[in-house]
A and B are shown apart, each in its own frame.
Chain A
Amino acid sequence: EADIYQTPRYLVIGTGKKITLECSQTMGHDKMYWYQQDPGMELHLIHYSYGVNSTEKGDLSSESTVSRIRTEHFPLTLESARPSHTSQYLCASSERRYSAHTDTQYFGPGTRLTVL
């Protein structure tokens, strides 16, 4: 059982609000990821981190920002939510900093965001 948590699980919010999606892992993993996924579509990497104080943008352009002040915590923030941000957001972690292409990724349960 993976120890990676996301809150909230579901969020319905109005346009223009600032939101933070929380992700925490207790496995001491170096690398963490945020993916965005729409129904029936691929997981798209929007942000990742190699470790504390490291954040990188993924392949999919995103208006969100992330921070990694502590190893276990990797929150994602949207400064001003829009209906186009409606999606499922999955957080994941893997053990080693530079071996992500073979390391297993452990996923949280996801946050389903709806922006009205």
Chain B
Amino acid sequence: ILNVEQSPQSLHVQEGDSTNFTCSFPSSNFYALHWYRWETAKSPEALFVMTLNGDEKKKGRISATLNTKEGYSYLYIKGSQPEDSATYLCAFSTDSNYQLIWGAGTKLIIKP
């Protein structure tokens, strides 16, 4: 059974601090890794999709890295702001499965 683990489950961060969290996935037959942000009362929105080992993507203060050989991705947020409060979901797919397998998310709360 393919499984995605996200840690920590939840995280409280002081406004202005930087933070990071992890998505772990099976490394065999890897195809793609997605990060989504899901704010309360809104729809999940795509942040990044990465396919190559060593990929690094950036959008403003948020960046992500990918290690397909050891099966993990990190999401970094620099200088956290209240609007960064959300649940961050990762999902991966294999080269034999067209569907995404999702983690349970990391809930990030930014304290002013």
Which A positions have Cβ atoms within 8 angstroms of B?
A: 2, 4, 35, 40-45, 48, 58-59, 90, 98, 100-102, 104-110
Query: How far is A62 from B98 in the complex, measured between Cα atoms in Å?
Result: 19
Query: How far is A58 from B100 in the complex, measured between Cα atoms in Å?
Result: 11
Contacts of A43 in B (CB 8 A): 89, 91, 102
CB contact list, B87-112 vs A, under 8 A: 89, 91, 93-94, 97-105
Chain A interface SS verdict (over half): loop
CB distance from A17 to the nearest CB of B (A): 26
Q: Are A42 and B103 in contact (CB under 8 A)?
A: yes
Contacts of A58 in B (CB 8 A): 99
CB distance from B81 to the nearest CB of A (A): 21
Contacts of A104 in B (CB 8 A): 34, 46, 49
Q: Are A108 and B9 in contact (CB under 8 A)?
A: no
Number of residues of chain B lying within 8 A (CB) of chain A = 25
Query: How far is A16 from B31 in the complex, measured between Cα atoms in Å?
Result: 42
Closest A residue, CB atoms, query B10? A40
Contacts of B49 in A (CB 8 A): 102, 104
Closest B residue, CB atoms, query A104? B46
Closest B residue, CB atoms, query A91? B43
Query: How far is A35 from B89 in the complex, measured between Cα atoms in Å?
Result: 14
Contacts of B44 in A (CB 8 A): 90, 105, 107
Contacts of A35 in B (CB 8 A): 102
Interface 0/1 of B33-66, CB less than 8 Å to A: 0100000001111100101000000000000000
